[in-house]
């Protein structure tokens, strides 16, 4: 009896699964606010260099005066103002500004005057956030495979709280960048560790529905609410306090979320896994006999003995590169993550300079997350993980490239509505790719290295996001260049996804050996939606299942041989005792 079978008896889509999906929803809300905190606290409204004669003017009048200086109007200091068109420019740099606050919200950039020549200071903090995310993802990914998913989840979220809350008290670039680095240590482990836990405790056929609807509803809710929470708070420090304090509630997960039973099995803690499964069964009101748990224990012991016993070294991330098929799949997952994260970050943060309030633009583009999740639920279990990953990347590439070309033709006369529609369309395509990619990677990577493997995949994505500013910088030479480049990357990612095996309705690999044979023999265009029922029956007899059956039979024969040997030895010992008694009588 393997893990999926014993989990089905304990309840694999019951009360406990609904509870952890709700807790996962809460994680999505706080993660959405945490990830985009830097964007919200750095919003820069329309601003102009301060002058005494501008104090009693309306923002419209001030804008008309500065309009004659073009793009540099916000940073131009005026010497004297004798009329709307009779002004003299000062050679001195501006050190004070007049801000037209959006909805009255005072951001960090406006309070610290990090605009014009000082605008780079906020960008340094963003760079350190991404550096922190690379370090944190690797560290907590390794830690989750050492001490468990739940403790690592709590520690990473606490790190996010510490970084965001301490940012409230920063006044200099040095302390600000340090706080953003600490905050970045939590991204993206504060999300995907809970994702792994939920995935491992849910029935395979319900993973797409449960996971993607949780992400779609709660992540979308968090994104839409985030800018308006800032407006309600009115000040960036109050906003940070409101978004960071709820993170502390994740500590309570230690008492209600069960540690990954599959991970415990890979650590040879079968008793611990059974204890967690018994708790799940009790919570779900399911009755599971001790004999069934003993059968699961024997299966785990046989599997471990088949793989070399207790003396076998623990698998590491490097083991994913030792065999050819695992190496190929891992590199493809790395490349796909780099493409998706790079495009997702560039599209999601590009909400300023479009002729619409960044608060409104941020919320409108966030609305694309829910439809993308619904589409995943409707299609992913029909066309399969591979088809959805490849197709979503293809659609995302088309949306992104088309929006870039359209923007290039609108560069002198911006149509705010058109730009908003194109941005939302691009966000829709990227969101589908991001959500489908997260589930695909988590299912493909074997349980024994899932924490490290998923962490490495996310690190590759964060590392690629460093290229986003340079790709966007190419827009100064040709407006459509960034979107076209991103579109080409999308198309390349779409192609390589076809080389990955399908995971729909399959038993997931738990060891490196199983990961190597998983999906062996599949062709590039083998999709579940294109197969007939009799083909499905044949496909279900995958190489992984054959591998498990083969070694289970071998192990059963070994146990039978061992049992026969013991019985034979017992008979020999009995004969010897009987002969000894006869000799004693004589």
Q: DSSP secondary-structure letter at 202?
A: S
Structure tokens at 197: 């836990």
> Exposure pattern of 480-512 as b/e (b: 16+ CB <10 Å)?
bbbbbbbbebbbebbebbbebbbbbebbbbbbb
List residues bridging with 106 in a β-sheet.
235
CA pair distance 181, 334, nearest whole angstrom: 23
Q: Using an 8 Å Cβ cutoff, are 500 and 444 in contact?
A: yes
Name the fold adopted by 314-525.
Growth Hormone; Chain: A; (1.20.1250)
Per the CB < 8 A criterion, the answer to whether 234 and 106 are in contact is yes
- Rounded Cα distance between 396 and 369, Å, is 13
Cβ neighbourhood burial of 556 (10 Å; 0-12, 13-18, 19+):
exposed
One-letter-per-residue 3-state SS of 234-291: CEHHHHHHHHHHHHHHHHHHHHHCCCCHHHHHHCCCHHHHHHHHHHHHHHHCCCCCHH
User: What H or E segment, with its residue span, contains residue 536?
Assistant: helix 533-540
Q: Which residue has the tokens 């041989």?
A: 561
Name the token pair of 81. 């103002």
Per-residue pLDDT at 247: 96
Strand partners, 99: 47
* Residue with the two structure tokens 């990090």: 114
SS3 220: helix
Let me know if the fold of 1-39+115-306 is the same as that of 314-525: yes
CA atoms of 174 and 157, how far apart (whole Å): 23
In whole angstroms, give the CA distance from residue 559 to residue 570.
16
Beta bridge partners of 78: 89
Assess contact for 239 and 41: CB atoms under 8 A. yes
Rounded CA gap, 235 and 156, in Å?
26
Q: What is the pLDDT of residue 465?
A: 78
For residue 389, count other CB atoms closer than 10 A to its CB. Answer: 27
Give me the pLDDT at residue 541, please: 45
Check residue 133 and give its pLDDT.
87
Name the CATH topology of 1-39+115-306.
Growth Hormone; Chain: A; (1.20.1250)
Q: How distant, in Å, are the alpha carbons of 291, 330, 557, 570, 571 from that of 567?
A: 24, 48, 15, 5, 6
d(CA 125, CA 139) in angstroms, rounded, equals 21
The CA distance from 446 to 532, in Å, is 29
- Residue listed under structure tokens 């197969």: 531
The pTM (predicted TM-score) of the whole model is 0.76
C-alpha to C-alpha distance for 124 and 414, rounded to whole angstroms: 30
CA 242 to mean position of chain CA atoms: 23
Q: Which helix (H) or strand (E) holds 49?
A: strand 46-49
Q: Which of 77, 25, 21 is nearest to 47 (CA)?
A: 77
Two tokens, residue 346: 């560039």
**Burial of residue 115 (number of CB atoms within 10 Å: 0-12, 13-18, 19+):** buried
What's the pLDDT at 547? 57
| pLDDT for 563 | 47
Please tell me whether the peptide bond between 188 and the residue prior to it is cis, using omega within 30 degrees of 0.
Answer: yes
Q: Retrieve residue 461's tokens.
A: 């994505």
Instruction: Give which of 324, 64, 38, 56 is closest to 184, Cα–Cα.
Output: 38
| Residue 142 and residue 196 in contact, taking contact as beta carbons nearer than 8 Å | no
Distances (CA, A) of 427 to 378, 416, 484: 19, 16, 15
pLDDT, position 355: 61
Provide the residue ranges of all domains of the chain, joining segments of one domain with +: 1-39+115-306, 47-100, 314-525, 540-585
- 63-88 burial, b at 16+ Cβ within 10 Å, e below that, comes to eebbeebeeebbbbbbeeeeeeeebe
User: H helices within 350-409, ranges in order?
Assistant: 358-366, 369-409
- Tens digit of each residue's pLDDT (9 = 90 or more) over 190-213: 998 999 899 889 998 888 788 888
Helix (H) or strand (E) holding 118, with range, is none
Q: How far is CA 105 from the centre of its chain?
A: 30
Euclidean distance between CA atoms 285 and 275, whole angstroms: 15
Quickly tell me which residue has 């529905």 as its tokens: 209
pLDDT in tens, 442-496: 888 888 888 788 888 888 887 887 777 677 667 667 777 877 888 888 899 899 9
Residues of the chain where predicted confidence (pLDDT) is lower than 50: 310-312, 533-541, 554-556, 559-560, 562-563, 566, 585-586
Neighbours of 381 (CB within 10 A): 20
Name the phi and psi angles at 268, rounded to 5: 65, 25
For the chain, what is the radius of gyration of the CA atoms? 29
Q: What is the pLDDT of residue 138?
A: 84
Contact 519, 543 (CB under 8 A): yes
With CA atoms as reference, report the closest residue to 419 among 499, 355, 512: 355
- The number of beta carbons lying within 10 Å of the beta carbon of residue 567 is 10
Give 248's Cβ-side CA count (13 Å radius): 7
- pLDDT for res 572: 55
CA distance 459 to 465: 10
- Whether the CB-CB separation of 427 and 349 falls below 8 Å is answered with no
CB 463 within 8 A of CB 134: yes
């Amino acid at each position: 009896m393997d893990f999926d079978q014993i989990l089905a008896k304990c309840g694999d889509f019951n009360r406990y699964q609904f509870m952890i999906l709700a807790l996962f929803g809460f994680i999505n809300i706080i993660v959405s606010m945490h990830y985009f905190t830097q964007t919200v606290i750095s919003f820069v409204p329309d601003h102009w260099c301060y002058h005494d004669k501008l104090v009693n003017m309306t923002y419209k009048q001030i804008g008309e005066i500065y309009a004659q200086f073009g793009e540099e109007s916000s940073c131009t200091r005026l010497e004297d103002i004798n009329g709307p068109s009779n002004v003299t420019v000062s050679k001195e740099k501006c050190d004070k500004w007049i801000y037209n606050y959006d909805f009255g919200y005072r951001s960090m950039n406006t309070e610290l005057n990090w605009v014009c020549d000082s605008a780079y200071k906020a960008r340094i903090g963003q760079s350190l956030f991404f550096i922190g995310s690379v370090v944190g993802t690797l560290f907590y990914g390794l830690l989750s495979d050492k001490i468990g998913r739940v403790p690592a989840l709590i520690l990473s979220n606490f790190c996010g709280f510490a970084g965001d809350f301490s940012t409230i008290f920063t006044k200099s670039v040095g302390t600000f960048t340090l706080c953003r680095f600490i905050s970045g240590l939590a991204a993206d482990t504060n999300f995907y560790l809970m994702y792994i836990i939920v995935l491992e405790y849910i029935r395979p056929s319900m993973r797409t529905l449960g996971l993607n609807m949780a992400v779609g509803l709660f992540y979308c809710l968090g994104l839409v609410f985030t800018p308006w929470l800032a407006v309600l708070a009115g000040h960036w420090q109050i906003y940070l306090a409101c978004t960071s304090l709820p993170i502390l509630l994740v500590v309570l997960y230690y008492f209600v979320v069960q540690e990954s039973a599959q991970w415990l099995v890979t650590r040879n803690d079968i008793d611990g896994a059974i204890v967690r499964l018994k708790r799940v069964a009790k919570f779900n009101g399911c009755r599971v006999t001790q004999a069934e748990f003993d059968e699961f224990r024997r299966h785990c012991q046989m599997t471990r003995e088949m793989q070399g016993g207790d003396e076998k070294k623990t698998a590491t991330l490097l083991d994913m590169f030792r065999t050819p098929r695992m190496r190929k799949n891992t590199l493809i997952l790395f490349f796909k993550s780099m493409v998706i994260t790079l495009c997702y970050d560039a599209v999601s943060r590009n909400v300023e300079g479009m002729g619409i309030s960044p608060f409104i633009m941020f919320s409108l583009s966030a609305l694309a997350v829910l439809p993308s999740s619904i589409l995943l639920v409707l299609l992913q279990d029909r066309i399969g993980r591979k088809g959805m990953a490849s197709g979503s990347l293809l659609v995302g590439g088309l949306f992104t490239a088309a929006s870039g070309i359209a923007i290039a033709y609108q560069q002198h006369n911006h149509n705010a509505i058109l730009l908003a529609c194109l941005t939302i369309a691009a966000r829709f395509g990227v969101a589908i790719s991001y959500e489908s990619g997260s589930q695909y990677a988590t299912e493909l990577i074997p349980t024994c290295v899932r924490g490290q493997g998923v962490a490495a995949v996310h690190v590759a994505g964060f590392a690629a996001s460093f290229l986003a500013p340079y790709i966007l910088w190419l827009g100064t030479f040709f407006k459509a260049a960034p979107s076209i480049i991103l579109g080409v990357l999308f198309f390349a990612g779409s192609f390589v996804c076809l080389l990955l095996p399908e995971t729909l309705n399959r038993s997931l690999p738990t060891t490196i050996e199983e990961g190597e044979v998983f999906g062996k023999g599949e062709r590039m265009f083998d999709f579940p939606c294109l197969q007939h029922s009799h083909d499905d029956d044949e496909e279900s007899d995958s190489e992984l299942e054959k591998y498990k059956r083969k070694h289970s039979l071998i192990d059963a024969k070994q146990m039978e041989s061992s049992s026969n040997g013991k019985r034979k030895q017992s008979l020999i010992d009995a004969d010897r005792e009987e002969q000894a008694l006869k000799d004693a009588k004589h």
